Amino acid sequence: MNAQQATQQVLFDRQLIERYNQSGPRYTSYPTAPHLHEAFGVREFRDEVLRTAAEEPQRPLSLYVHIPFCDTVCYYCACNKIVTPDRSRAARYLQSLLREVALQGELFGRQRPVLQLHLGGGTPTYLESDQLHQLMDALHHHFRLVDDQEGEYGIEVDPREMPVGSISRLRQLGFNRLSIGVQDLDPAVQKAVNRVQPLALNRRVVEEARAAGFPSINLDLIYGLPLQSERSFLQTLQQVVETLDPDRLAVFNYAHLPQYFMPQRRVDPQQLPAPEEKLRILESTIRFLTDAGYLYIGMDHFAKPNDELAVAIRQGILHRNFQGYTTHGDCDLIGMGSSSISQIGRIYAQNEKEVEPYYQRVDQGELAVFRGLLLNEDDLIRREVIMRLICDFQLDRAAIERRFHLSFADTFQSEMSDMQRMIEEGLLEEEGEILRVKPAGRLLIRNICMVFDWYLRNAQQKKSFSKTI
Ligand code: SF4
């Protein structure tokens, strides 16, 4: 079975899902972000940048730029953002952001090609068109962004903030990937989460994006929101596929954690679908989307067979980083803006989370790193194991042995009994040195990865994570 066939199948096994439905990380990194610590700062960040640049001066870059502002709050929100109608705050933010772009540009140099750029938030389109223009000019000035064919330059857009003509302006600015937050199309659900965004509005934005020549459009949906049912969500999916026809879909599970996320306190828990109904929504979503021709990429993501993510699976080059799945795992990732996280060589580094300390640091001509982590050898081995499982749905144990000069059986002695149990339960199968995730195990990929997570095994910290399903 090749990698593409391997990912086409996903089996909803209710019994297994109920048995494994516990809290766990989404593994956009390993170790996960809570393990970053404040003993790591700018000096450690700079040292690693210089070390990796000396080792591989042409190593490509991926840039993430965080814009933390939103006009109104969505009640399901778990993001780092500032909700304000006062647009002058964006101008203040941009001032410091441009300084940080210059500082990072100076450190990394213009010789390294930028293959990927992503503007996320918050709501990046909170910035006015001329502000986005300034930002893109600065990025072009301080970094070497490659041409439209080679580079993947994406932005998250909120259709409620996109007047006619604004999408084509994004294309003119150099963006060629669009990610649109839709969440649900049922007017009652939209009202219950304070995000009223009718189908006609979404359609206008998607049509404008296609006319402007955006080659790839991603839509985000969420299941588990108040007032949703299997029937209502199927209707949303039908409208999405028939009317909007995205190249890629992310269908996230709403995790109701009002103790951590203030906006969620405005969600009426009585209106949330019961766990049974949520499972039915998930089951019918998978069936509907795969019947509609989408491939299950893994971890909430679906893509058309010719989408880059699906192609990356066929080529065995799918990766995962702080922005989720990516086709550019060979890049160092520079996060810019408050709260953003960089991944360079053996380190992760996060900027100040709140805007005021971020302004202070950057305005003094200093990078805004406030915490981070230098991965040790064991972290690096486990990161590779987890990334291969989550991206390829299989693990070549011999490849890990060759790469890290170790014996897999000796290194993962205590993990083997969990693996064996998962094999007996039908989540995994062995074929020589290959450990393969079976169709029934694919929805439980987080649980499988958790077996190799040293930190979880040694400190029961699972509670602050969302449920795996
Ligand atoms: S969900 Fe997105 S648009 Fe809504 S408040 Fe959160 S960050 Fe802003």
- CA of 74 relative to ligand 1 center, distance in Å: 5
- CA of 160 relative to ligand 1 center, distance in Å: 12
Which phi and psi angles does 64 have, rounded to 5°?
Answer: -120, 130
Regarding the beta carbon of 122 and ligand 1, being less than 6 Å apart is answered yes
Q: Which atom of ligand 1 is nearest to the CA of 121?
A: 7
Regarding the beta carbon of 224 and ligand 1, being less than 6 Å apart is answered no
For residue 24, what pLDDT is reported? 87
Q: Residue for token digits 């299989």? A: 394
For residue 149, what pLDDT is reported? 87
**Residue 300, phi-psi category: left (phi > 0), alpha (psi -120 to 50), beta (remainder):** left
CATH C-level class of 34-334: alpha beta
The sign of the torsion formed by the CA atoms of 237, 240, 245, 250 equals: negative
Q: Residue for token digits 């953002």? A: 81
Q: Which two tokens stand for residue 143?
A: 């970094």
For residue 178, what pLDDT is reported? 96
For residue 249, what pLDDT is reported? 97
Whole-number Å distance between alpha carbons of 187 and 445? 33
**Intervals of the chain under pLDDT 50:** 1-7, 461-462
Whole-number Å distance between alpha carbons of 353 and 375? 22
pLDDT digits (tens, 9 = 90+) for 185-232: 999 999 999 999 999 999 999 999 999 999 999 999 999 999 999 999
Ligand 1 probe mutation, 123, 219, 252, most atoms within 8 A of CB: 123
Whole-number Å distance between alpha carbons of 329 and 344? 11
Residue of the CA atom closest to atom 6 of ligand 1:
77
CATH of domain 1-31+377-469: 1.10.10.920
Regarding the beta carbon of 73 and ligand 1, being less than 6 Å apart is answered yes
pTM for the whole structure: 0.94
Q: Residue for token digits 């010789």? A: 111
For residue 6, what pLDDT is reported? 47
Domain locations in the chain as residue ranges? 1-31+377-469, 34-334
Residue of the CA atom closest to atom 5 of ligand 1:
73
| Amino acid making up residue 439 | P
Whole-number Å distance between alpha carbons of 79 and 325? 18
Regarding the beta carbon of 123 and ligand 1, being less than 6 Å apart is answered yes
Q: Which two tokens stand for residue 26?
A: 């989404």
For residue 466, what pLDDT is reported? 66
pLDDT digits (tens, 9 = 90+) for 377-430: 999 999 999 999 999 999 999 999 999 999 999 999 999 999 999 999 999 999
